[in-house]
Amino acid sequence: MPKRDLSKEDIKRIVEEENVRFLRLMFTDILGTIKNVEVPVSQMEKVLDDKMMFDGSSIEGFVRIEESDMYLYPDLSTWMIFPWENDHGKVGRLICDIYGPDGKPFAGDPRGNLKRVLKGMDEFGFTSFNLGPEPEFFLFKLDENGDPTLDLNDKGGYFDFAPTDLGENCRRDIVLELESLGFEVEASHHEVAPGQHEIDFKYADVIEACDNIQTFKLVVKTIARKHGLHATFMPKPLYGINGSGMHCNMSLFNEDGNVFYDEDGPMQLSKTAYQFLAGLLKHARAYTAVCNPIVNSYKRLVPGFEAPVYVAWSGHNRSPLIRVPESRGLSTRLELRSVDPAANPYLTMAVLLEAGLDGIRNELTPPTAVDRNIYVMTEEERKAAEIYDLPSTIHNAIKELREDQTMVDALGDHIYTNFNEAKRMEWAAFRQTVSEWEREQYLELY
């Protein structure tokens, strides 16, 4: 969505003209969940003057009760009016950064943390880090009580269309809603698995792109419910079919343009692009904990379902972790294919940028590209080619993260400590759960 330079007066005028009755102040917690503080428009002056407070102790991983006062600083460029909530007047939205009572950015705010990491580009003269996301999701039917079922809404496949793809009407309405909100949708289609869909929108500066991902999730879920469907960004909701990814297309720019492009370089990639790529590969096992942050994420990262499992790169085939799409010039980019839509986009992009900058800072060289199907290679062949596995569980991924100080620093002490503790508790709860699979396998046998 194009950024708009809006002043406080502009927003006041729009609120008056459009009969906006409520202001929804949005931010994201450490686990990637969208949070809202909704206030009547009578509080607008307070909101626009950065004086709106909330209780930070009620938010996962923020602060303890004795230090709970936090302030919401709205980013005026994120102003938007939601078109679907008109019963009691319209609802305006502002995405906020979190500040403490001392007037300093709160270290536990994922959006603020990404802004901190972005300052690391200054030493290289980079002006922007761009992200083009490709989020996938499933549509399930709702039951008579409005609760999600496991019944898929269609039996469609890749690029199918009606009548097989019964989600087409819902997906079309999502696209129309996104476009009315200013999104530039580049592609919308049925994915490989039944009930699975993908909507891609134009790349943007990374903060704006992460804001767009969070807004996108909200729109998808809202419109799906209007169609009697439940949209889920759970990475692997069903056994035996492909899971949902969120491929991240990344590029760095300076005042001269895309720094990943070099007309005379190997594959027309610059030295900087190869160094950034090398950094992404070096830190891959550690940042997997952030890019694939839940127990269920690792049910997707298995061979045979198109998701990457191995740390390698290629300019051609789609089995490695990182692919270099064919486009060059301004569109030159690196595509990381492991990320799933359960990831907190702000934390994900903070660790990915820091990994890439580490590659540039230390002038790393990536290993040789792997242009054959890694899934059919033997373990010995993979070892000879220096191809390593991604972690197989969130438990193993968190251990890798703990050992990688560069990635810990990208999160900052506050976020890392709380993220690590939340994931440790999640794994402990999962380990204690007895699944239906275990009962089917062992109850009679033993």
Q: Give the annotated binding-site residues.
A: 134, 136, 186, 191, 198, 201-203, 242-243, 247, 300, 306, 318, 335, 337
- Catalytic site includes residue 337: yes
The catalytic residue among 191, 358, 400, 404 is 191
Binding residue numbers for ATP:
186, 201-203, 318
In this structure, what is the dihedral angle of CA atoms 371, 271, 135, 306, given to the nearest 10 degrees?
Answer: 10
The catalytic residue among 171, 190, 323, 337 is 337
- Catalytic site includes residue 67: no
Binding residue numbers for L-glutamate:
242-243, 300, 306, 318, 337
- Catalytic site includes residue 172: no
The catalytic residue among 29, 97, 109, 134 is 134
* Strands of the 90-99 sheet, one edge to the other: 34-40, 20-28, 90-99, 69-82, 52-55
The catalytic residue among 45, 49, 55, 413 is 55
The catalytic residue among 172, 318, 431, 439 is 318
Which pair of tokens denotes residue 437? 């699979």
- Catalytic site includes residue 198: yes
- Catalytic site includes residue 326: no
Q: What's the CA gap between 71 and 76, in Å, rounded?
A: 15
- Catalytic site includes residue 45: no
Q: What's the CA gap between 289 and 212, in Å, rounded?
A: 22
Binding residue numbers for Mg(2+):
134, 136, 191, 198, 247, 335
- Catalytic site includes residue 335: yes
The catalytic residue among 29, 109, 154, 335 is 335
The catalytic residue among 171, 230, 247, 395 is 247
Encoded amino acid at 357, one letter: L
Residues labelled as active-site residues: 55, 134, 136, 191, 198, 247, 318, 335, 337
